[in-house]
Amino acid sequence: MSKQQLETRFKQILDQGDKLFVPYIMAGDGGLDVLNERIDFLADCGASAIELGLPFSDPVADGETIQQAGIRALKSGTTVQRVFDTLKQSKDRNIPIILMTYMNPVYHYGIDAFAKACVASGVSGLIVPDLPMEEEQAVTDVLHQYDLALIRLVALTSPVARQKELKKRTEGFLYAVTVTGTTGERQTFTDRVHQYLADLKVGATTPVLAGFGVSSEEQVKNLARHCDGVVVGSRIVKAFHDGEKDVIKALIEASKQ
Ligand SMILES: O=P(O)(O)OC[C@@H](O)[C@@H](O)c1c[nH]c2ccccc12
């Protein structure tokens, strides 16, 4: 799916009055043979898009749950190439896939070859948390040729000028990180979080999604009220690992009207 198709799909969901829900899963956790099945399950539950993590040995932004999932995936023999090959087997799915990867695997694969493989596997965009805005052009020049989105992260600690620039550049959606720290479930958020999300919404040309720490139905509803939806990672990864599919269904349901 192209960047435009991803953005159109998001708009349609929001126009219906629902909020966006983007679950994160780790490619190869549970073995690559379950990957397409898990994507289909999430699509059937009503996910708006899937954030698919590539396992990597130095995942600096990942908390314990996702680190462990990455270790399991690497141990079971997951590689970047195998993830692309697995995605290709079910390329005509009607849910956008956003790959979450660190810069090293992209650079190692070759930026152009990586982008080509994304298109051939039905991927719509990338999240690259260790690619700062100042360094992104070498990547975005290529992604734009292939109609792929670079989804950018903004932090609670980003100064106003930086937030503004990120809003200007945003593609697909703006990923508003709701904690200062790594991924992982949280009980509470800082009081500032609602205002932060509301400020990001002003003038942003794509939806704004809140992510990091979101793990209960109540948190989904509460945060989504102040922006366009949420990303949920660790809780979904844990639920797949523990076989709790009802938890996943209920979390996604909480984002609907
Ligand atoms: O796990 P959490 O706290 O629900 O946060 C989402 C997150 O897992 C997912 O978006 C993600 C996983 N690894 C990342 C690295 C950087 C940015 C985002 C991510």
pLDDT at site 1? 87
Proportion of the chain above pLDDT 70, given as a percent:
100
Active site residue ranges: 51, 62
Give residue-wise pLDDT tens across range 160-184. Answer: 999 999 999 999 999 999 999 899 9
**144 near 119, Cβ under 8 Å?**
no
The stretch 213-231 carries a mean pLDDT of 97
CATH number for the domain harbouring residue 94: 3.20.20.70
Proportion of the chain above pLDDT 90, given as a percent:
96
Whether the model clears a pTM of 0.95, i.e. scores above it, the answer is yes
Which of the residue ranges 173-177, 186-190, 215-219, 251-255 would you say has the lowest mean pLDDT? 186-190
The stretch 132-153 carries a mean pLDDT of 97
The stretch 234-248 carries a mean pLDDT of 98
pLDDT at site 257? 78
pLDDT at site 125? 97
The stretch 102-129 carries a mean pLDDT of 97
Burial annotation 38-63 (CB, 10 A radius, 16+ → b, else e): bbebbbebebbbbbbbbbbeebebbb
Distance CA 160, CA 31 (A): 42
- pLDDT above 80: residue 243: yes
H helix count then E strand count, the chain: 12, 8
The boundaries of the domain holding residue 218 are: 3-253
Q: Is 26 helix (H, G, I), strand (E, B) or coil?
A: strand
The stretch 228-248 carries a mean pLDDT of 98
Give residue-wise pLDDT tens across range 58-73. Answer: 999 999 999 999 999 9
- pLDDT above 90: residue 91: no
Ligand 1 pocket: which of 20, 57, 66 to mutate (most atoms within 8 A of CB): 66
Structural domain count, the chain? 1
Question: Is the C-alpha dihedral spanning 108, 113, 119, 121 positive or negative?
Answer: negative
In the chain, what is the greatest distance between 2 CA atoms, to the nearest angstrom? 45
Give distance in angstroms: CA of 78 to centre of ligand 1: 19
- pLDDT above 90: residue 92: no
Q: Which residues contact 76 (CB under 8 A, 6 or more apart)?
A: 28, 31, 32
pLDDT at site 19? 98
Distance CA 225, CA 116 (A): 37
User: Which residues sit with their C-beta closer than 6 Å to ligand 1?
Assistant: 24, 51, 53, 61-62, 66, 100, 127, 129, 183-184, 211-214, 231-234
pLDDT at site 94? 85
pLDDT at site 198? 96
Ligand 1 pocket: which of 100, 131, 154, 247 to mutate (most atoms within 8 A of CB): 100
- pLDDT above 80: residue 197: yes
Report the amino acid identity of residue 159.
P
The stretch 114-136 carries a mean pLDDT of 97
Give residue-wise pLDDT tens across range 20-49. Answer: 999 999 999 999 999 999 999 999 999 999
DSSP state of 237: H
Q: Which residue's alpha carbon is at the smallest distance from atom 7 of ligand 1? A: 233
Distance CA 154, CA 6 (A): 20
